[in-house]
Structures are given as C-alpha cells and as structure tokens.
Amino acid sequence: MDYCANPCPSHATIFDLLEGHGHTSNCPSDPVVTSGIQAPTVIAEEPSHVLEGEGQSDWMMWTNFVMNLVEEYAMAAEIGEAEALEPRTLAEVKCRPDWPLWKKAINEELETLRQAGTWELTEAPPDANIVGSKWVFCMKKDAAGNVIQYKARLVAQGFSQVLGVDYFNTFAPVAKLAAIQSVLAMAAAEDLELHQIDIKGAYLNGELTGREVIFMQQPPGYHAPGLVKLVCRLQKTLYGLKQSGWHWYQKLVEIMLTHLGFAHCDVDQAIFFQREGQAIIIVLVHVDDCTIAVTSITLIADFKARISEYVDITDLGELHWLLGIKIKSDQECCTIHLSQCSYIDSILR
Amino acid sequence: MDTNIRLTTAQSPSTTAEFAQMRDVPHHKAVGSLMYVALGTRPDIAFAIQTVSRFLTKPGLTHWEAMKRIFHYLKGTMELWLTYGTSKMDLMGYADADGSMAEDRHPISGYAFLIHGGAVSWSTKQQEIIALSTTEAEYVAQHFSA
C-alpha cells in the first residue's frame, strides 16, 4: 500500500463543489447557501483567457492549472469543508443569502458580552495602544455534516500587544497525559464514574487585573450609536488576547479552590480533587474540557450544579472522547479501554 | 519495525539522485503524526518511533521503508486498546537500557509504569552519555525513569 500518494478526490464532488451546489444548509426555511464561493471565482475568469489564448500548449497548461486547482479545492474540501465555506469578513457575510442567521448570531454574541460586562466605553488616551477587533464566523456541524448552529465570535487582535505593558503571563497549565492515564487507571480500579463537561466561552470568564489596561476598537460594524470615537476598555478577557489563557486558569483556580472547596493536586496543577469521607471527586482540566471522576453518580450531578453557578457549562455526559482518544469502559469487568483508532485511521489515509 | 534491519546514518542519501528521490517523501510529517499515537495509547511503537526520528534531517529510503513498516503494523493492529483495571498489582515500574547497539554507541533507555496492569507512563530515549559498560547504561536508565 502506498501511504504517500495524494488522496484521489472523487470528480462528482469536485464539480458539485465548483458549481456551488450539493452543499446546502439544513435549516428548512433557509435559502441555498452559496457554497464554493472561493472556488468558482477563479474559474469564472477562465473563458476570457481561453479566447485570448494563443495556442494548444497554452490551453494544456491552463487545463493542468485548473486540474491542480480543482484537486486542491477538493482536498481542501475533504480536509475542512466547513472552513472553506465559512465567510471570513463581515462584508462577505453581509452579501450572503444566509445573512439574517449570521446577524442573529452576532447579536447573540454582543448580548453575551454585554451581560458579562466585558468592556466599558471610554475615550482612549492619545498614546494608548488600541487593539483591533474582528468577527470570526463558524458553522457548527453535527457528525453527519448538517449545520446545527451559526456562530459568531468577537476576537481581539492581540498581536499588537506589548509584553510587560499590555500583558505579563501567557501560560496556562493543562493536565499531563500521564496524569490523565493515571486517573483513568485509578477509575478502573476503584470503579469510578467518568463524566465530561465543557465550559462555554471559557476565555470570556477571565478577569483582567488593574495593571492591565487594554483598549480595544469597538466591534466592526456595531459601533455604539453616536459614540463612534470611543473605544472599549476591557474588563474581562476576550478570545485573541495574549493573556486570556492565564486569566482563565486563574479564574478557574479561584472557582475550584475558594468557591467549591477543591484542593490542588501536588504534582499536576491542572488536577483538582475533593474528599468527603469515602467519596472523592477528581477533576482534570484541559483548558475548557473538564473530565470528572467520582465515586457516585449523585455527586456528579451535584458538582455540575455547583460549577454552573459560576460558569456556563455544556454537559457532555459520560466520557467517550478525550484529546482524540476514544475511551470505552466496561462496567462488568471494571476495565477502561483507550484507543486512537480514528486518529490512526485519519493519518493512514 | 523490522528486527533484521539496522538503521544507520550511512543509509541517508549521499548522491544527488538519492536526494531527489527523497525530496517529496513526507518522513518528517509521518514521524510527527505517529508521535502522538506513541504518546497517547501505544507504548508498543514508542521504540520504533524513537528509532526513525533520529533520521529526521536526512531520511533515506531505508528509513522511509521502516516508517512505512510502522504504518503497516498500526493498520494491522488498529483494534488494540490500552486497557486499565485488568489486574490488582497496584503500581509497577520497569526500566531498562539496551547494550549500546546504535552506531554512535549511545545506549537507549526506556521505562514503563503500570497501574493495575495498565501502562500510564512510558518513554524511550537515547542516553546523553556514552556508557562504558552495560551496567552504567542500566544505572542511567534507572535514573531516567525515576
């Protein structure tokens, strides 16, 4: 078997992609999404070139070029269909037929940020470094590839921040793989329940300290009416800022240690645990993915209720996937199995 | 990895033709993508990955063949799972070193720690020193695992 060969794209998909059909949104009331926006624009210029074309060789070169292009697009489509079809800028999203859905997503995001008190509008001092802001759009899909959610996120363009002026620490601990495996091994031996939760918009919870004064431009296209000249002074972290990861971790430590009464694990700072007599709760944190190992199922529900007082969570139920590793537990034999078969499968292709 | 084939730097390309042959081979990428598998759930390929990753800058055809052999092995054993909770042995640790078999005479140490029969931490690494005896290599391996 030849592993280094290019994946051979099926031609039917390519032409579907190029002609802009075959990929539609599944929202019933929604018009057909103009997919393949990037692909056909290049192809569209092609006829004029052919008319000017001087000879056969030119045409051959062009065909080769188009075929390469087609293969590239097909590959891109296979790798990340969603990425290729998602709009990149606000101007682009406004031209699309599904703009109302995006608009709704943007308004939701702005509302979340407003409720969280992410910034206050002020006048920027003349010499302040003003960080840009940008919208990022994403279509969330289910396993079958149907669009389930339109998502818009406001991000700060943290690349203009200066170390020691705008930000200090940028690191955040995550649980070590060996630590995760040890907890799983312990869970198998002690017959613990394994559950998983995801923290929604984790970085938006981080709070900036008094010495980090960050000014950000108002969200593009959504300036406060009449206050166009003002800028946002950030109170909380946003996605894209250099220090967001650090502040989120600090916030998490504060929640876990002071509010929920957990203790830090001595060897791994991203592991928290709590003991109540025979019962024990262990929480492994990987940025916003929390894996919970507990002795009884009632404690899980209790923990989820307690943590959701402080942050928004998505309950993912029992643990099946962790960092691309598939996890299967066998209640009868009290064993836990780990496998990366789908990762192996994806790299074998 | 084929046990009969010794990988050395002598197998790296030396002529222009050999370099041209290896130009488009994604050896680097292949090692990188297998590294996560070796770290995550497959201690059995840790040594093989350690061996092929020593030739990242100048991979030759023999090295690439060895790489493909690992892929073949993985394809055949995709259904293997790392299992925890099969026995009640509590924590066990193993450490060892090889007998300086590599061409540069650096020994390779390895360790694995098992909790209740399931491996939780493992590693294979070339030692920094050239050991004067296998005993010395073993000591270094013990220290590495500690």
One domain for residues B66 and B106? no
Give me the pLDDT at residue A270, please.
83
The 10 Å CB-count burial string (b at 16+, else e) for A69-102 is: ebeebbebbeeebeebbbbeebeebeebebeebb
The span from the CA of A292 to the CA of A26, in Å, is: 34
Give me the pLDDT at residue A210, please.
74
Who wins on pLDDT, B16 or A334?
B16
Amino acid sitting at position A10 = S
Question: To the nearest whole angstrom, how far is the Cα of B136 from the nearest Cα of chain A?
Answer: 27
In a domain, B99, yes or no: yes
The span from the CA of A179 to the CA of B65, in Å, is: 34
The span from the CA of B119 to the CA of B112, in Å, is: 7
Is residue A228 scored above 80 in pLDDT? no
The CB-side HSE value for A234 (13 A sphere, CA atoms) comes to: 34
Amino acid sitting at position A285 = V
* pTM, full prediction: 0.67
One domain for residues B72 and B112? no
Amino acid sitting at position A102 = W
The span from the CA of B69 to the CA of A94, in Å, is: 51
In a domain, B21, yes or no: yes
Helix (H, G, I), strand (E, B) or coil at B119: strand
pLDDT tens for B36-45 read 888 888 888 8
**Tokens 């010395």 correspond to what residue?**
B136
Is residue A16 scored above 80 in pLDDT? no
Who wins on pLDDT, A29 or A325?
A325
Closest CA to A217 of A119, A335, A112, A130: A130
- Tell me what the mean pLDDT of segment B69-89 comes to: 79
Give me the pLDDT at residue A348, please.
64
Q: Do A178 and B74 touch (CB under 8 A)?
A: no
Q: Do B81 and A1 touch (CB under 8 A)?
A: no
Confidence of residue A45 (pLDDT cuts 50, 70, 90): very low
Question: To the nearest whole percent, how much of chain A has pLDDT over 90?
Answer: 0
Asked whether the beta carbons of A243 and A212 are under 8 A apart, the reply is yes
Asked whether the beta carbons of A341 and B78 are under 8 A apart, the reply is yes
* Mean of per-residue pLDDT scores for chain A: 72
The span from the CA of B32 to the CA of A170, in Å, is: 26
Give me the pLDDT at residue A141, please.
74
In a domain, B3, yes or no: no
Name the residue range of residue B132's domain. Answer: 91-145
Does A293 lie at the interface with B, CB-CB under 8 angstroms? no
Who wins on pLDDT, B123 or A327?
B123
Domains identified in chain B, total number: 2
Compute chain A's Rg from CA coordinates. Answer: 25
Compute chain B's Rg from CA coordinates. Answer: 17
Beta bridge partners of A291: A196, A284
One domain for residues B29 and B66? yes
DSSP secondary structure letter of residue A207? B
pLDDT tens for A31-43 read 334 443 333 333 3
Q: Note the ipTM here.
A: 0.79
Does B82 lie at the interface with A, CB-CB under 8 angstroms? yes
Does B14 lie at the interface with A, CB-CB under 8 angstroms? no
Give me the pLDDT at residue B44, please.
87
Is residue B95 scored above 70 in pLDDT? yes
Give me the pLDDT at residue A35, please.
40
Closest CA to A193 of A120, A270, A294: A294
Mutate to test the interface with A, among B25, B120, B122 (most CBs of A within 10 A): B120
One domain for residues B71 and B100? no
pLDDT tens for A235-287 read 888 888 888 888 888 888 888 888 888 888 888 888 888 888 888 888 888 88
Report phi then psi at A215, rounded to 5: -105, 135
Does A339 lie at the interface with B, CB-CB under 8 angstroms? yes
Give me the pLDDT at residue A59, please.
54
Amino acid sitting at position A116 = A
In a domain, B85, yes or no: no
pLDDT tens for A327-337 read 777 666 556 66
* Mean of per-residue pLDDT scores for chain B: 84
The span from the CA of A181 to the CA of A190, in Å, is: 14
The span from the CA of B146 to the CA of B65, in Å, is: 35
Give me the pLDDT at residue A183, please.
84
Is residue A75 scored above 70 in pLDDT? no
> In the structure encoding, which two tokens stand for residue A313, read together?
């969570």
Per-domain residue ranges of chain A: 11-85, 101-348
